[in-house]
Structure 1
């Protein structure tokens, strides 16, 4: 009889442990990281932080904002469902922090890159594969462009018109990865200075190294990143990175 009671108590104990682990794995919390080493998109970062905080309030997830790269350690990162690189630039993480972030993604974490997140960590090949491309240059100024929605059924694009007219700074990429699930392309005939040809991706997602990655090159300044259509596009990307389906 005593053995049965002991076994029952042990079973309950492991159930509690399992429940707590599941809570940690689905924290409904994201990290927004906006450290810059080279160019800084000041208005986009300030406005983007406010936008994402509001999205968190409206969609039941907590938002932590920082520019301190020391938060990139294994113990701290495990509390987040996704990490957002909001207009980061340059070499923002040291070797130890890079390793912690790699381990986080490999453990099932999510990543969102916005605009100049592709102008970040050029000497870290793993990061390039994670985000899917590296920035080369952009035409002078912002232009009115025509964006084509390639996948209208995705959580981040289902609200968008099939052809989306938007004013933004459009990136040319020096390298674009293979196997990306492209969501949006830009029509290079609609503006001057495009260098990626007929199929010029602007937003995409993909599963990578055990985790999930979403990127959009849109969001150059406050006006762009507060555009309601782009806000909802970013929300869909965050939900995907968090592992949410709706």
Structure 2
């Protein structure tokens, strides 16, 4: 046998040995569907939980129309919900809301978070919302719902917290782990301790309303290391996040509530700051929280399963 042939056999043997040492894990997986489907009507005879999404305006960073469609499709596909969307709640009434088991807020009153001018509902509409929840209606406060209402005390109390321009901030990471700190709650029971969210916002140092008796289900960690320009990128100007300025910022290097529940009168409130857009809504952890949180707010019980990639698993 010539030398070249021997070397060739030896090389193939090494490749085979290396390959056999590598554990190849094959799972039942398909990429998320990125084309948004339009949710079709539901047969009223199915007696599903009725959800009303209140929308119609949002800040410029949010594709609220796409998110509404994604939420509606996601929820109706479970077979548990029948979802409607209104883009005009300026003069909403209690009678209108009472037709639903739960209301989901996907609304922001300002085009830019720091704008002085805003578009808010009539006093009648606010009263209708408060009365609806007080009398036993469910509420889901979703993502951009926390970026307005800082100057409306009862709204702050209703949803539990708001972002304020001078104290609150969006932490730089667009993908970050979310720590499920209470896995005994019906919403989070059976979920893994940490899930990830993607293309999302970590709301940090929010103004928590002292009268809202919230129960925190999940947190995220705001780290000063994340503000390093190499990681944060051009959206975070270097001069604004020097070490001395970072040190003076409230809530730095700390955990911050991202998901919580609260009672408001006889009603149940599920607040979730996560879910920036339809991209983040493709992932199992966030989908699980949204679906089970909405079901709990609507009915007081949770029957929907934890989605596979969000399930708890043995770590020992």
More helix by percentage: 1
- Which residue in the other structure is 1:120 paired with? 148
- Which residue in the other structure is 2:18 paired with? none
Structure 2 gap ranges (5+): 1-46, 111-118, 228-248, 303-316
Decide which of 176, 199, 211 is 2:208's aligned counterpart: 176
**Secondary structure of the residue that 2:259 maps to in structure 1?**
strand
Q: Is the Cα–Cα contact under 8 Å of residues 32 and 85 in structure 1 kept in the other structure?
A: yes
Decide which of 19, 44, 60 is 1:39's aligned counterpart: 60
**Secondary structure of the residue that 2:149 maps to in structure 1?**
coil
From the superposition, tell whether residues 79 and 226 of structure 1 become closer, same or farther in structure 2 (CA, over 3 Å). same
The total of aligned residue pairs comes to 220
Q: Considering Cα pairs closer than 8 Å and 6+ residues apart, tell me whether 1 or 2 has the greater RCO.
A: 1
Over aligned residues, Cα RMSD in angstroms?
2.5
CA distance in structure 2 between the aligned counterparts of 1:89 and 1:225, rounded to whole angstroms: 22
**TM-score, normalised via structure 2 length:** 0.63
**Secondary structure of the residue that 2:202 maps to in structure 1?**
coil
1:50-65 alignment to 2 at 5 Å?
50-65=70-85
**TM-score, normalised via structure 1 length:** 0.79
- Which residue in the other structure is 2:188 paired with? 157
CA distance in structure 2 between the aligned counterparts of 1:166 and 1:213, rounded to whole angstroms: 22
Structure 1 gap ranges (5+): 1-25
CA distance in structure 2 between the aligned counterparts of 1:190 and 1:147, rounded to whole angstroms: 17
From the superposition, tell whether residues 40 and 67 of structure 1 become closer, same or farther in structure 2 (CA, over 3 Å). farther
**Secondary structure of the residue that 1:143 maps to in structure 2?**
coil
Cα drift, residue 37 of structure 1: 5.3
Q: Work out whether 1:196 is the aligned partner of 2:251.
A: yes
Q: Is the Cα–Cα contact under 8 Å of residues 118 and 135 in structure 1 kept in the other structure?
A: yes
CA distance in structure 2 between the aligned counterparts of 1:159 and 1:52, rounded to whole angstroms: 24
From the superposition, tell whether residues 243 and 237 of structure 1 become closer, same or farther in structure 2 (CA, over 3 Å). same
Higher gyration radius (CA): 2
